Amino acid sequence: MNHFLKTGLFIVVLIQHLYFPDKGWTEPIPVFVSILPQKYFVERIGKEQVKVEVMVNPGESPATFNPNPKKMSLLSQAKLYFSIGVPFETIWIERIQSIHSNLQFVPLHDTQNPAND
C-alpha cells in the first residue's frame, strides 16, 4: 500500500510538471476516475491539487454504464483519467479518446498482462 501511495504521488507531481508547467499549483487539476474507491486514493495523494469526478457513481452498474450529458460535459473539462482496467473501460476509453483527444489517460493497472488485473 505504501508503494502505491508513493507511486501515485510521483505520478501526480510528474504530470503536473510535464503537462501543466505554466499552471503551477494555482488551480486544481480536473481528473476522472472509474469507481468511487479510486476517488479516495487520488484525493489523498493529490490533495488540493486535484478535483476528482467519478465515472460510475454508487448505485450505477458498470455492466450497463452509459454516461449522461452532464458527465460527458465534466469529462470534456478533465485533464486526466486514471483507469484501473475494469471491463467497462475497455468500451468507453476508446470512445472518450476519440471525442476528447486532449484527455490524458493514466493506467493504474498492468496494461501488458490484463490477466493480472
- pLDDT tens readout for residues 12-69: 767 766 666 665 557 899 999 999 999 999 999 988 899 999 999 888 888 888 888 9
Q: At what angle do helices 2-19 and 36-46 cross, to 10 degrees?
A: 70
Q: Which three cell numbers stand for residue 62?
A: 458498470
Domain boundaries in the chain?
A: 2-116
* Dist. CA 14–CA 95, nearest whole Å: 26
Fold for domain 2-116?
A: Rossmann fold (3.40.50)
* Dist. CA 66–CA 95, nearest whole Å: 12
pTM to 2 decimals?
0.72
Q: Phi, psi (5° rounding) for residue 43?
A: -65, -35
* Dist. CA 49–CA 100, nearest whole Å: 22
